[in-house]
Amino acid sequence: MAPPKDTPAVATYADYEVITPNNKLRKAISAMPLSPGDDPVARAEQALAELSTEFASWMDAECVRLDNARDKVKQSGFTSKSKEEIFHAAHDIKGEAATFGYPAVAAAADSLCRLIEHTPDATRIPFKLVDQHVDAVRAIIREYARSDAKELAALLTGRLREVTDEFLIHENRGRPGYLESVLGPPLAPDQSV
């Protein structure tokens, strides 16, 4: 009997297995050739441009979500649920920042993610440091139309990163190998320029 179509193919050998996942993208590709002059990338960019009028309101909604998550942390402390909510809200802003036209806000959201992710005991994170991150994200987005917004965002997020790194060094002082990976430069290129 053949395995179901959505089950990956598995080839078993003496000391290893090769798992070949199904390529679900094949279903999304049309068998029809592109018509002359049809550029799917250009169509995608056009669709994105048409949606761009909504980006500011979507980013505002993400800020409200982050602010609400902060309020839950303040009310109940860093429970597993509140920690997850604030981390995901910051992570989503970090990921959406460039697409929504606010690339300079990604660094502040990333700093908050790092703070939450790399603090061994989240209950020791000062609420003031969380407030500074959330307020920075909101301020950067609110003031993004200013001509000097990117420079101010870089200064602000640079200082947030310094304070966050100082806190992480202190909280992880017994884990030197771990600290090297936390304090190293980010792997992704800077998207804020």
pLDDT in tens, the chain (193 residues): 555 566 778 888 888 888 888 777 766 666 667 777 777 778 777 777 776 677 888 899 999 999 999 999 999 999 999 999 999 999 999 999 998 889 999 999 999 999 999 999 999 999 999 999 999 999 999 888 888 888 999 999 999 999 999 999 999 998 878 877 777 766 555 555 5
Q: Is residue 90 part of a domain?
A: yes
Check: pTM over 0.85? Answer yes or no: no
Q: What is the pLDDT of residues 161-190, one digit of tens each?
A: 999 999 999 999 988 788 777 777 665 555
**Length reported for the chain:** 193
Measuring CA to CA, which residue among 168, 58, 68 is closest to residue 113? 168
Q: Is residue 35 part of a domain?
A: no
Range of the domain at 148: 58-183
Q: Is residue 33 part of a domain?
A: no
Please state the domain count of the chain. 1
Domain with residue 123: its CATH number is 1.20.120
Q: Is residue 17 part of a domain?
A: no
Q: What is the dihedral of CA 175, 181, 183, 185, to 10 degrees?
A: 170
Q: What is the pLDDT of residues 85-102, one digit of tens each?
A: 999 999 999 999 998 889
